[in-house]
């Protein structure tokens, strides 16, 4: 079952520009070959904006390509309001799947599926910039259809919630029960609060501090 950004974020959803243009065409118009080459050579992956199938695919392609190039560390910069949980799962699992170490840099905000991606790295490899905000909460799926379908969808949301809570518990060192309590509603954290909570290992202000 796919959960959309609207399902997960409700009124917190980022404004989107609507027009008749193909989203893939829009994405291509912002692709600069020189910039792409520079990012590849520096082993840097940007995950910015709503998490969806397109972002999951391009991020996975870049991770696999860099992993094939060498075992040197990869830096992933994340700033996202969230999006499709399954797309977030794909990136989360791919970070763990490849051989090179992935260093996460949080910037702007890492919310919902964005936070799921962020915690895929080992804790010591998770840093953020000073003004980054984090949001954890339980998934909220739009449920409809027949009575049987509603029951099935509700059970799937419960399974997803339990799975995500365990991921965040493992990643932060918080107890499963504490995660359940905190994510029952939107749980916002500043960079310092996220560090205290176990989401972030260090707050950095300069690239020289990345290590």
147's tokens: 């009575």
pLDDT above 60 for 41: yes
User: What is the rounded CA–CA span in Å between residue 54 and residue 68?
Assistant: 21
Mean pLDDT of 173-186: 97
Total length of the chain? 211
pLDDT above 60 for 10: no
Residue 51's DSSP bridge partners are 83
* Beta-strand relationship, 202-203 and 187-189: unpaired
pLDDT above 90 for 183: yes
12's tokens: 């917190």
190 given a catalytic annotation: no
Catalytic residue among 137, 148, 190, 201: 137
Q: Tens of pLDDT along 117-154?
A: 999 999 999 999 999 999 999 886 555 566 677 788 78
pLDDT above 80 for 5: no
What is the model's pLDDT at position 2? Answer: 45
User: What is the rounded CA–CA span in Å between residue 201 and residue 172?
Assistant: 10
Which residues touch 184 (CB under 8 Å, ≥6 apart)? 138
Read off the CATH number of the domain in which 59 is found: 3.90.226.10
Find out whether 161 and 137 touch, Cβ atoms under 8 Å: no
pLDDT above 90 for 19: no
Percent of the chain predicted with pLDDT > 90: 74
Residue 66 domain boundaries: 5-209
pLDDT band with cut points at 50, 70 and 90 for residue 37: very high
Catalytic residue among 80, 112, 148, 201: 112
Question: Which DSSP string do the residues of the chain spell out, in sequence order?
Answer: ----HHHHHGGGPPP----SS-HHHHHHHT--HHHHHHHHHTTEEEEES-B-HHHHHHHHHHHHHHHHH-SS-EEEEEEE--B-HHHHHHHHHHHHHSSS-EEEEEEEEEETHHHHHHTTS-GGGEEE-TT-EEEE--------SSHHHHHHHHHHHHHHHHHHHHHHHHHH---HHHHHHHTTS-EEE-HHHHHHHTS-SEE-SSGGG--
**Count of domains forming the chain:** 1
92 given a catalytic annotation: no
Mean pLDDT for the chain overall: 87
pLDDT above 70 for 28: no
User: What is the rounded CA–CA span in Å between residue 69 and residue 59?
Assistant: 15
What is the model's pLDDT at position 122? Answer: 98
Percent of the chain predicted with pLDDT > 70: 81
Q: Tens of pLDDT along 70-120?
A: 999 999 999 999 999 999 999 999 999 999 999 999 999 999 999 999 999
pLDDT above 80 for 192: yes
43's tokens: 């082993």
pLDDT band with cut points at 50, 70 and 90 for residue 197: very high
């Amino acid at each position: 079952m796919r959960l959309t950004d609207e399902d997960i974020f409700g009124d917190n959803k980022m404004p989107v520009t609507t027009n008749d243009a193909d989203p893939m065409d829009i994405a291509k118009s912002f692709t600069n070959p020189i910039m792409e080459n520079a990012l590849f050579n520096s082993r840097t992956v940007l995950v910015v904006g709503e998490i969806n199938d397109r972002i999951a695919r391009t991020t996975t392609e870049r991770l696999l390509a860099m992993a094939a190039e060498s075992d040197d560390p990869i830096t992933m910069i994340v700033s996202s309001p969230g999006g499709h949980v399954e797309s977030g799962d794909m990136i989360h699992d791919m970070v763990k799947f490849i051989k090179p170490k992935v260093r996460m840099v949080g910037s702007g905000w890492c919310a919902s599926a964005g936070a799921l991606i962020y915690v895929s790295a080992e804790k010591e490899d998770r840093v953020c910039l000073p003004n980054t905000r984090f949001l954890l909460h339980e998934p909220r799926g739009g449920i409809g259809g027949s009575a049987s379908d509603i029951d099935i969808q509700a059970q799937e949301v419960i399974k997803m919630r339990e799975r995500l809570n365990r991921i965040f518990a493992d990643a932060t060192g918080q107890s499963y029960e504490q995660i359940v309590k905190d994510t029952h509603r939107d749980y916002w954290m500043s960079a310092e609060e996220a560090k205290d909570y176990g989401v972030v290992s260090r707050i950095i202000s300069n690239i020289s501090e990345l290590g």
